[in-house]
Structure 1
Amino acid sequence: MAMVERFGVAGGTSMAVTLGAGDRLTIRDAEGLQPAGLVVLEGDLGPLPERLLTGATAPGSSVTLEAPTASTVVISAPGADMAPDEQAPPTDLVVEIARHGANARPLPPPLGRVKAELHIDAATASAYKVSAGDYIQVIDVDGKQCSDFLAFDAARLDDGEEIGIDATTTTTLLGAAYPGPGLLSKFFDGRMRPLVEVVRDTVGRHDTFALACTAKYYEDMGYPGHPSCSDNFNGALAPYGIAPRKGWPAINLFFNTAMGSDNRLSSDEPWSRPGDYVLFRAMTDLVCASSACPDDIDPSNAWMPTDIHVRIYDKAQEFSKGNAHRMTPDAIPRLTRTSGFHDRTSVLTRNLVDYRGFWTPDCYAGNGPIDEYWAARERCVVMDLSALRKFEVIGPDAEALLQKAQTRNLAKLAVGQVVYTAFCYEHGGMIDDGTIFRLGLQNFRVVCGDDYLGVWLRQLAEQHELKAWVKSSTDQLGNLAVQGPLSRTVLEQVIWTPPVQASITELKWFRFTIGRIGGPQGPAVVVSRTGYTGELGFEIWCHPKDGVAVWDAIWAAGKPHGLAPLGLSALDMLRVEAGLVFAGYDFDDQTDPFEAGIGFTVADKAEDYVGKTALARRRANPLRKLVGLEITGNEAIGHGDCLHIGRAQIGVVTSAARSPLLGRTIALARVDALYADLGRTVEIGKLDGQQKRIAARVVRFPHYDPEKTRVRA
């Protein structure tokens, strides 16, 4: 059976691939309307179609070519920058290569100039030296293959002292099972000194709990004499004077293990795909060792050990930091990226977190969450929310598609208007919430939190044979939220709108206008009167190339009014006070809009839509309800804490925050409908839910401005 490799060509970029004789190359336009280009640099692909993918294609359209000889080709996904009021983003192409016969899967291309590399055959291990500052890339060549990793301080080894990575110290210092790219990225030794930093991780699932496999493990399983990683390490490390051990406490990259709530260590097949990798940076001179685990008696290597490849890159090179994100398990991975505002936010803070695949400030060094919170409530704040997912829904059946996909009646949505809505599965559970902008008669923009929504919308269009395209525009639209009582005052100085568009002063709640920054020749923007804070506020949508200019203009206009930057920590306080729900916390695919507290989004419309029957049944027979809680005392409360009446659990806390304005801890919680009446006393269970209880009372929510007078101001 031919091996199939999958790559992605991002919209507006190109990539080179190598083919062997007989290999089959497929170029697929997953979203439709995206042209493709192909140039043969070496070899021959025979006669090429006059037009590969013309840009007038349906989602999923493809062409397949077979290479008669070894060839190198460049594939491009051409496209220009998209203005914020346009709907033609360049989107990704999927490239698939089916290798013929004995043609081997090539190693993934290097990340940069390679200083040294070594190939580790299945069931073996190797040791190698790495200089301080250099990068170490450990690659899973064929996927689902574990690789144990050891690192020792080389200088201490020269003095006869073995000091290596200490998983217990690392876990204790980080408060996490293992490091990842970002702030909490270091592996420490027993002296609490960092030895390696995690720069990139395309898997995000590893083992730091158990030993590298040992001879004893195989003996106890009935396989005496079976090779083990620990024995292989002993042989590889002997030339460096490192004493052998029965079992090495290694960092097992790609191994899928977890400690359960039942205090049991579980394991399963690795999550890694072919070409996945972890990129480290040496914090000091190191002696390292890597293995290709020989375990073929359980799922740890998917029952078939394969090879590992290690590359060393010079410290003079620079690599972006990031995790890999996939919208579906088989999707092309995307490393954590930065927004068009990153050049400005990153000089104000180092506290950046990977939020939905974007490096986003959690809080700012010169302010802090409490100060940022008060700035939003009393003055004005600016926040980078570019991580929100954007989809352009266009075509003659665009409205018909969205009428089937969500709970609002779009027939009532005017051009220039925005509506908040819910997207549900057939059983009534929610896929996501989001807003829909109507840019034209059959032109819509969906803004939500989850990439998968775009996949699902395309599947729905195909299922109902609707002529509509769903084009990803996240990378073409930066989103800067300007929120607070003085937000209109600030933006009046910045946003120019033509006579046919509403001015900032005229813009009504849940409407948008199209304008420019500073005047008719300034950067193009779309401005919506929307937000996630419960305050008067706006969102500015622009192309990332204009992000710095947009930030600078707003920053300059806002400074006299006390404008401050806002991070995710302060935003969480604001949205919990305002009763605004968050995916994965206040709702999921087991929660319907009524149980999520947004039943108002379920319209009584004639058209059939996904989940309509289930939602009618759920509305008539509610089982659970979202309520507000006021908590007695100052104990920390968090998502997932159980709610009890007596011994019985009757609900769960979905979101909680300490409210600076109200001076108490508040929460949103989903409870059995029988116990949702206002004033009801309940208890929050801590520890195991029974040994410790914290009193709380069911109250109306939103806790802050329940009539929404401020946001409507």
Structure 2
Amino acid sequence: MDLKTPLYDAHLKAGGKMVSFAGYMLPVQYKDGGVIKEHLAVRNQVGLFDVSHMGEVVYEGKDALANLQYVLTNDFSNLEIGRVRYTLMCNKNGGVIDDLLVYKCSAEKYLLVVNAANREKDVTWMKQHLFGEVEFSDQSDRFVQIALQGPNAKEIIGQLTKEEEIPKKYYSFVEDANVGSVSCILSRTGYTGEFGYELYCRPEDGLKLWDLLLKSGQKYGIIPCGLGARDTLRLEAGMPLYGHEMTEEITPLETDLSFAVKMNKKEFIGKQAILDKGEPKITRIGLQLTERGIAREGANIYFNGKKIGQITSGTMCPFINKACAMALVEKGIVEIGSPIDVEVRGKKITAEVVAIPFVKK
């Protein structure tokens, strides 16, 4: 049976259309909004998301850093306390088990945020590879996570939080911030391509924080937003999604995430397999349809009549009002501006290779 977040009743009250997602019942959209309205609210004003389905795990102890260095692809040896870093976790064949964020809370304590659908798999994998003096705990049930995203997010947080408790830099956080009267982790992160924050609080404070943000954000145009807008926003911003642009068969280098893979580290799980594969033979591209249609996941892509890859994510992007998609294709065949064909419902429609992200802000 699907779980409910502590904000479930608030979603029903607001007219949320609830769907099953990653083992939880979550709103895909709201009756007074809809995906397009919610998407545009985030781009132009501000939107509020319940992302409590995400997982949180903690590494703590003398060898916490050594464990992260081994199990994750990025380098955390120079990560400062109060900063956040994106990374991937690979299997021994170099494929991606998950992508996640690492928060450095202290010299010996790290909070990791993992994808909801991968939580159990990730926890099992991490436990299997623990070594040395380290304590590992799955603390997912101890957090409600709320995302406040959009250009007006700063004004709302500024009304509720002391200046010194507001993180100033992108990918930074304050561990013990007070937003209104709610104690939480306040993080300058997000999955929309917009200015915004992610807030982590205790489950018993979740509804209070949600209502407080909605009330304080009324004059800034805030509306609650669902999974539908979250997906169109991340795609428009060119952000990859696990299970689409990343899988256990695709290495990070094959989906253009080399920035989060530090091959100069002494060792990490999957490093040797990535080296053995050599130069990637596929790559991730962005494309924009030049005639009517939507390129959906799994659609074949052709260049000069030859199949070169498949769509991994595609939709109509509301802010730019264009149908866009990301795809994995053979490397070195097309470039920005190349004309390609996408097979949609048995018919080939034209598209053009464009730069990622699709939205320029």
TM superposition shift of 1:394: 1.4
Q: Per-residue displacement from partner, 1:387-433 (whole Å, max 9, x unpaired)?
A: 11111111221111110011111111111110011111122110000
Q: Per-residue displacement from partner, 1:264-285 (whole Å, max 9, x unpaired)?
A: xxxxxxxxxxxxxxxxxxxxxx
What is the SS of the residue equivalent to 1:412? coil
Q: Say if 2:47 and 2:149, in contact at 8 Å, map to a contact too.
A: yes
Q: TM-score, normalised by structure 2?
A: 0.95
Task: Output aligned runs, 1:327-476, within 5 Å.
Answer: 336-449=2-115, 450-451=118-119, 452-461=121-130, 465-476=131-142
What is the SS of the residue equivalent to 2:89? strand
Name the counterpart of 2:333: 675
Q: Say if 1:391 and 1:470, in contact at 8 Å, map to a contact too.
A: yes
Give the AA of the match of 2:351.
Answer: A
Q: Say if 1:372 and 1:566, in contact at 8 Å, map to a contact too.
A: yes
Correspondence for 1:699 among 335, 338, 354: 354
Name the counterpart of 1:517: 179
Task: Output aligned runs, 1:585-604, within 5 Å.
Answer: 585-604=244-263
Question: Stretches of 4+ moved more than 4 A in 1?
Answer: none
Task: Output aligned runs, 1:601-612, within 5 Å.
Answer: 601-612=260-271
Once residues 139 and 211 of structure 2 are traced to their aligned partners in structure 1, the CA distance between those partners, rounded to angstroms, is: 24
Once residues 676 and 448 of structure 1 are traced to their aligned partners in structure 2, the CA distance between those partners, rounded to angstroms, is: 33
Give the AA of the match of 2:122.
Answer: L
Give the AA of the match of 2:85.
Answer: V
Q: Say if 1:533 and 1:574, in contact at 8 Å, map to a contact too.
A: yes
The answer to whether the aligner puts 1:578 opposite 2:244 as a matched pair is no
Name the counterpart of 1:73: none
Q: Say if 1:634 and 1:664, in contact at 8 Å, map to a contact too.
A: no
TM superposition shift of 1:647: 4.8
Q: Say if 1:627 and 1:676, in contact at 8 Å, map to a contact too.
A: no
Q: Say if 1:595 and 1:626, in contact at 8 Å, map to a contact too.
A: yes
Correspondence for 2:301 among 643, 654, 658: 643
Q: TM-score, normalised by structure 1?
A: 0.49
The answer to whether the aligner puts 1:564 opposite 2:226 as a matched pair is no
Q: Say if 2:3 and 2:23, in contact at 8 Å, map to a contact too.
A: yes
TM superposition shift of 1:661: 2.1
TM superposition shift of 1:644: 1.7
Name the counterpart of 1:190: none
Q: Per-residue displacement from partner, 1:125-159 (whole Å, max 9, x unpaired)?
A: xxxxxxxxxxxxxxxxxxxxxxxxxxxxxxxxxxx
Once residues 330 and 144 of structure 2 are traced to their aligned partners in structure 1, the CA distance between those partners, rounded to angstroms, is: 40
Q: Per-residue displacement from partner, 1:242-262 (whole Å, max 9, x unpaired)?
A: xxxxxxxxxxxxxxxxxxxxx
Once residues 525 and 647 of structure 1 are traced to their aligned partners in structure 2, the CA distance between those partners, rounded to angstroms, is: 54
Name the counterpart of 1:555: 214
Name the counterpart of 2:273: 614
Q: Per-residue displacement from partner, 1:452-478 (whole Å, max 9, x unpaired)?
A: 1111011011xxx32323211111111
Once residues 602 and 551 of structure 1 are traced to their aligned partners in structure 2, the CA distance between those partners, rounded to angstroms, is: 36
TM superposition shift of 1:441: 0.9
Q: Say if 2:165 and 2:178, in contact at 8 Å, map to a contact too.
A: no
User: How many residues matched?
Assistant: 357
Name the counterpart of 1:528: 187
Q: Say if 2:294 and 2:344, in contact at 8 Å, map to a contact too.
A: no
Name the counterpart of 2:292: 634
Look at both structures and tell me which one has the larger radius of gyration over its CA atoms: 1
Give the AA of the match of 2:132.
Answer: L
Q: Say if 2:157 and 2:179, in contact at 8 Å, map to a contact too.
A: no
Task: Output aligned runs, 1:159-174, within 5 Å.
Answer: none
Q: Say if 1:581 and 1:587, in contact at 8 Å, map to a contact too.
A: yes
Name the counterpart of 2:311: 653
Greater helix proportion = 2
Once residues 364 and 606 of structure 1 are traced to their aligned partners in structure 2, the CA distance between those partners, rounded to angstroms, is: 46
Q: Say if 1:343 and 1:548, in contact at 8 Å, map to a contact too.
A: no
TM superposition shift of 1:355: 1.5
Q: Say if 1:409 and 1:605, in contact at 8 Å, map to a contact too.
A: no
Q: Unpaired runs of 5+ in structure 1?
A: 1-322, 324-335
Q: Say if 2:173 and 2:188, in contact at 8 Å, map to a contact too.
A: yes
Give the AA of the match of 2:359.
Answer: Y
Once residues 590 and 560 of structure 1 are traced to their aligned partners in structure 2, the CA distance between those partners, rounded to angstroms, is: 47
TM superposition shift of 1:380: 0.5
Give the AA of the match of 1:455.
Answer: T
Q: Per-residue displacement from partner, 1:210-239 (whole Å, max 9, x unpaired)?
A: xxxxxxxxxxxxxxxxxxxxxxxxxxxxxx
Give the AA of the match of 2:309.
Answer: G
Give the AA of the match of 1:551.
Answer: W
What is the SS of the residue equivalent to 1:590? coil
What is the SS of the residue equivalent to 1:353? strand
Once residues 187 and 229 of structure 2 are traced to their aligned partners in structure 1, the CA distance between those partners, rounded to angstroms, is: 22
Give the AA of the match of 1:653.
Answer: I
Q: Say if 2:291 and 2:351, in contact at 8 Å, map to a contact too.
A: no
TM superposition shift of 1:664: 1.4
TM superposition shift of 1:646: 4.8
TM superposition shift of 1:604: 4.0
Once residues 668 and 660 of structure 1 are traced to their aligned partners in structure 2, the CA distance between those partners, rounded to angstroms, is: 16
Give the AA of the match of 1:634.
Answer: R
Name the counterpart of 1:480: 146
Give the AA of the match of 2:328.
Answer: R
What is the SS of the residue equivalent to 1:363? strand
Name the counterpart of 1:281: none
Q: Say if 1:572 and 1:657, in contact at 8 Å, map to a contact too.
A: no
Name the counterpart of 2:344: 686
Name the counterpart of 2:281: 623
Structure with larger RCO (C-alpha < 8 A, sep 6+): 2
Once residues 657 and 686 of structure 1 are traced to their aligned partners in structure 2, the CA distance between those partners, rounded to angstroms, is: 12
Among the aligned pairs, what percent are the same residue?
Answer: 28
Once residues 125 and 54 of structure 2 are traced to their aligned partners in structure 1, the CA distance between those partners, rounded to angstroms, is: 17
